[in-house]
Amino acid sequence: MARLDFYFDFSSPYGYFAATRIDALAARHGRTVKWHPVLLGAVFKTTGSVPLATVPLKGEYSFRDFERTARFHGIPYRRPANFPIATQLAARAMTWIDQSFGEAKAVAFAKAAYAAYFVDGADITQPEGIGRAAQAVGIRTDAMLEGANSQPVKDALKAQVDAAMARGVFGSPFVIADGEPFWGFDRFDQLEAFLKNGKI
Amino acid sequence: MARLDFYFDFSSPYGYFAATRIDALAARHGRTVKWHPVLLGAVFKTTGSVPLATVPLKGEYSFRDFERTARFHGIPYRRPANFPIATQLAARAMTWIDQSFGEAKAVAFAKAAYAAYFVDGADITQPEGIGRAAQAVGIRTDAMLEGANSQPVKDALKAQVDAAMARGVFGSPFVIADGEPFWGFDRFDQLEAFLKNGKI
């Protein structure tokens, strides 16, 4: 059975929530998951969107919703001091780890980077913060930084983001299962029904 | 126990879905509902938002999500020929019915107007289309039009929309329960948990 494509941005709380659940959800239906970091900054240029937290009225609500949604689902979450953040470094680091050490380590890094940012309060835009996630999966910070900042890795990530937009990805989290798109952690109930029944 | 405040726009599919469920959800927890029509056009001027369906990439997805969400929840839905629409006439008509015949009839009218638009394909921006909803609750179209277009009713609706924004309402559906805001039909699971447990 085809893998699920899971798109996420490292600055997206709902992407983080989804990241804590997507592998188990897929496994319940005999599926595996391909994890794709994307850059919402690039995507939002296409859609004309702005970060949720910066919108009048909606912004204040969104912080409340992040915390309430985390409690509702029993997911550890602490509001980061800086939000939203640029996620080029984290996404490039994951891309380099995928190329250099394979997919399993890249996914473990992604989970560690999300936890560093949304649980431990690390600044993952900085070498020290993102370095914690690298060390958690046994990779040296200096090697990761050199790899993440290399031109081939930058180019590879840009190509991945362009490919995601070409498939219609416009937010985080975004899952494509057998061609069917699901945007948002709050569509995981529909995703689960789709995987179970083959349709909705 | 305090009533729930339910805010909705007549052009909002998720508002329509919520309208089919909110009374029963509230009743399960010994609550009643105060229905407040709002005008998202006015709200979006404040938030700088645009209708979902007009956003690149997100727009196409949203039409798919409307239909899939309706199927997932077992709610009748047919994509309207015109979408989104201006909802001043429908909202003013409801305001006039509330003033003239009371709340129960206004809520019955709102449900009929939503069904006329999202199930029967009526153009509720026009007298004939919105007239169907009036007739469904035993009100003559000509009387409704005269009432809806009167200055006191226009002023009353504007005051209601301003009051909604002052409470932080920025979308549809939007429910406030004991001061706690819930935006979106996809937060009805959290709303239900909140009503059941008094917190999340």
Does any CB of chain A come closer than 8 Å to the CB of residue B60?
Answer: yes
Does any CB of chain A come closer than 8 Å to the CB of residue B104?
Answer: no
Whether A61 sits inside 8 A of B184 (CB atoms) is no
Does any CB of chain A come closer than 8 Å to the CB of residue B56?
Answer: yes
DSSP 3-state assignment of A36?
Answer: strand
Interface size, chain A vs chain B, as Cβ–Cβ contacts under 8 Å: 77
Mean of per-residue pLDDT scores for chain A: 96
Query: What's this model's pTM, rounded to 2 decimal places?
Result: 0.95
A12 to chain B, minimum CA–CA distance in Å?
17
Phi first, then psi: give them for residue B174, nearest 5 degrees.
Answer: -140, 125
Chain A residues with beta carbon closer than 8 angstroms to that of B64? 181
Whether A53 has a pLDDT exceeding 90, the answer reads: no
DSSP symbols for A115-170: HHHHTS---TTSHHHHHHHHHHTT--HHHHHHHHTSHHHHHHHHHHHHHHHHTT--
- Which residues are within 8 A (CB) of A75 and not within 5 positions of it... i.e. 6 or more apart? A16, A17, A20, A69
Whether A68 sits inside 8 A of B200 (CB atoms) is yes
Query: Could you tell me if A164 and A38 are in contact, meaning their C-beta atoms sit under 8 angstroms apart?
Result: yes
pLDDT value, residue B46:
83
Whether B68 sits inside 8 A of A186 (CB atoms) is no
Does any CB of chain B come closer than 8 Å to the CB of residue A46?
Answer: yes
Q: Across residues A171-182, what is the average pLDDT?
A: 97
pLDDT (tens digit per residue) in A22-31: 999 999 999 9
Q: Kindly provide the b/e burial profile for residues B15-46, where b requires at least 16 CB atoms within 10 angstroms of the residue's own CB.
A: bbbbbbebbebbeeeebebebbbbbbebbeee
Q: Which three-class secondary structure string do you get for chain B?
A: CCCEEEEECCCCHHHHHHHCCHHHHHHHCCCCEEEEECCHHHHHHHHCCCCHHHCCCHHHHHHHHHHHHHHHHCCCCCCCCCCCCCCHHHHHHHHHHHHHHCHHHHHHHHHHHHHHHHCCCCCCCCHHHHHHHHHHCCCCHHHHHHHHCCHHHHHHHHHHHHHHHHCCCCCCCEEEECCEEEECHHHHHHHHHHHHHCCC
Best residue in B61, B71, B185, B187 to probe A by mutation, most A CBs within 10 Å?
B61
Q: Kindly provide the b/e burial profile for residues A84-111, where b requires at least 16 CB atoms within 10 angstroms of the residue's own CB.
A: bbebbbbbbbbbbbbeeeeeebbbbbbb
Lowest mean pLDDT of A2-6, A54-58, A81-85, A180-184, name the range.
A54-58
- Which residues are within 8 A (CB) of A54 and not within 5 positions of it... i.e. 6 or more apart? none
DSSP 3-state assignment of A101?
Answer: helix
Cα–Cα distance, A47 to A62 (Å, whole number):
20
Cα–Cα distance, B105 to A50 (Å, whole number):
40
pLDDT value, residue A46:
83
Q: Across residues A106-117, what is the average pLDDT?
A: 98
Mean pLDDT by 10 residues, chain B (200 residues): 95 98 98 97 85 85 96 98 95 98 98 98 97 97 97 98 95 97 98 96
* Candidates A47, A57, A181; nearest CB to B47: A57
Task: Give CA angle at B52 (B51, B58), nearest 5°.
Answer: 145
* High-pLDDT (> 70) share of chain A, %: 100
Largest CA distance in chain B: 47
pLDDT value, residue B184:
98
Count how many Cα atoms sit within 13 Å of the Cα of residue B171 in the half-sphere of its side chain.
22
Q: Which of A81, A98, A104, A12 is nearest to A49 (CA)?
A: A12
Tell me the Ramachandran region of residue A83: left when phi exceeds 0, alpha when psi lies from -120 to 50, beta otherwise.
beta
pLDDT value, residue A128:
96
Whether A72 sits inside 8 A of B165 (CB atoms) is no
Question: Architecture of A4-197 per CATH?
Answer: 3-Layer(aba) Sandwich (3.40)
pLDDT (tens digit per residue) in B53-97: 888 888 899 999 999 999 999 999 999 999 999 999 999 999 999
Residue bearing tokens 């201006």: B86
Q: Give the pairing of strands A174-177 and A180-183.
A: antiparallel
Whether A168 sits inside 8 A of B65 (CB atoms) is no
pLDDT value, residue A175:
98
B34 to chain A, minimum CA–CA distance in Å?
21
Whether A157 has a pLDDT exceeding 90, the answer reads: yes
Cα–Cα distance, B62 to B90 (Å, whole number):
23
Chain A residues with beta carbon closer than 8 angstroms to that of B72? 189-190, 193, 200
